[in-house]
Structure 1
């Protein structure tokens, strides 16, 4: 049986023609929507959601193309634009009775959240982004050998056919790779850059260094890891389509907003690993250009911070919601 968030009710909610989202809903009070990242499902929020549900209505969906949500075909490249996926989330909240809501996203979900904030500024009251840069800026900073940490971005940006076949040939190895290297002690974006520049990953013996690189099994326990792999295995074409959109139509949308001077008008909190120090850019300055009312914080855990450091994430979200 697929793990669920304890105490939450599950709904299947139509959000667009032929598309329904699987959503876990719990608690009562001001609504907060939590969007997951790659290669995960809504389950990544299980600790954070349980805490916030004490005094908020918490909605944690699987994004279109992921988990138990529908996975429409993408004939024209627009089915997985972040604009389309953001419209799904607005429709989901409205179907559940909420015209305005706070929004937090991790990784891919953060990109959807950013687009929702730009496209629906009167709907999104507060916005949190966990460990991602806005799409346009992400491509700008990925240069030279440091771009190797994002090899999957370039792979899935290729035209339909090859990426799906390559990933589909060994999906557990592909998706499991990121679950391993991006968690605490693994090779996240910042750590990967440091190693390629010749820095030691940890002090001590080679055995201790190998142990430091390994994932934290408590952060993503075996049943949850298995659920992530099963969900990703069943969604290779739609996951690739999501990433492909970020190398195409999503960039076009970001460029149009930048040219028009559009920004995120709501309070914004960004939690991020210290990518800038490792890859040579000022992440806070990049974010400030999009979010005038910004609080930018770096964290010491790995990429999967809602699972590795849920108390830290809850604290930051509660502070955001109080602004």
Structure 2
């Protein structure tokens, strides 16, 4: 059985460099693009997307390298750079006739949204970020034994070959471990959704690793260049995250304020998969963002 977001149409849309992206599109009104995280697909937005579609055109793509979207070989460092994936997002929205749109991302999708907000300030009207810190800041705050929580970041940062082999040989155990460890409410990811996440991730190991590898290389360089230039977000920004600052010993709100002058920073009692665990709260926060 193919799992879909009820009431949404599915289409293929052009990204950057000829990549074709699968996307669910529903509702009507001003456009909102929702980008998923790891180890998930666009289905993570199923509850929030249905709610927002009452007032907005909602676009939920699978990121390049994930789900039903194309998975190009990582021929260069830029293939899975967040800059390239941000260009995908702008391209697919334009193909639907939207030159300006609000953008909300979770986890890996939030890193893409972060880059889109900096690279395309004339296009992204509102920016929502769920449960990350910027790539450059992430590497700076991970230190000592507390960095063990991010072991997968270091594993997938290694040169091509070993990470892909290790993960492919234990794909269900590897990807499933994050679904188990990061959800405070396991019932929020029912069996059929979990099975789809595991199936899709197992089929995308090389591209998922390439996405993470980019975040230990080219993405850091892009963030550093923006930091050195004093770049900040021009649009309203809402950040919702678990209290990682308390756990890792840094001021999360201050980290985000340096990038986002117009910031609404919120902590949630939900787990990492907050759009599935607390969809009403996340939907309300997105509506608040769009009203700013």
TM over 0.5: yes
Once the two structures are superposed, the pairs formed by residues 252-267 of structure 1 within 5 Å of their partners are 252-267=221-236
Question: Are residue 313 (structure 1) and residue 282 (structure 2) matched?
Answer: yes
Quote the Cα distance in structure 2 between the aligned partners of 1:217 and 1:240.
25
Instruction: Give 4+ residue runs of structure 1 displaced > 4 Å after superposition.
Output: none
1:233 aligns with 2:202: yes
Q: Secondary structure at the match of 1:13?
A: strand
Aligned partners of 2:172 and 2:18: how far apart in 1?
28
Q: State yes or no: 1:286 paired with 2:255.
A: yes
> Which one has a bigger Cα radius of gyration?
1
TM-score, structure 1 normalization: 0.90
Q: How far apart are residue 217 of structure 1 and its match?
A: 3.7
Counterpart of 2:264? Answer: 295
Alignment of 1:27-66 (within 5 A): 27-66=27-66
Aligned to 1:73: 73
* Gap regions ≥5 residues in structure 2: none
In the alignment, which of 239, 246, 249 is matched to residue 218 of structure 2?
Answer: 249
Quote the Cα distance in structure 2 between the aligned partners of 1:258 and 1:110: 18
Aligned 8 A contact 2:48 2:275 in 1: yes
Corresponding position: 1:10 with 2:14: no
User: What does 1:158-197 align with in structure 2 at a 5 Å threshold?
Assistant: 158-184=158-184
> Could you tell me how far 1:261 is from its partner in structure 2?
0.7
Deviation at 1:220, TM superposition (A): 0.3
Tell me the SS of whatever aligns to 1:58. Answer: strand
Q: Which consecutive residues of structure 1, in runs of 5 or more, have no partner in the other structure?
A: 185-215
Name 1:189's counterpart in structure 2: none
CA displacement 1:225-253 (0-9 Å, x = unmatched):
00000000000000000000000000000
**Could you give the per-residue CA deviations for residues 53-87 of structure 1, whole angstroms, max 9, x where no partner exists?**
00100000000000000000112221000000000
Deviation at 1:18, TM superposition (A): 3.4
List aligned pairs for 1:214-229, cutoff 5 A: 216-229=185-198
The two structures, once aligned, show a CA RMSD in angstroms of 0.6
Paired residue total:
292
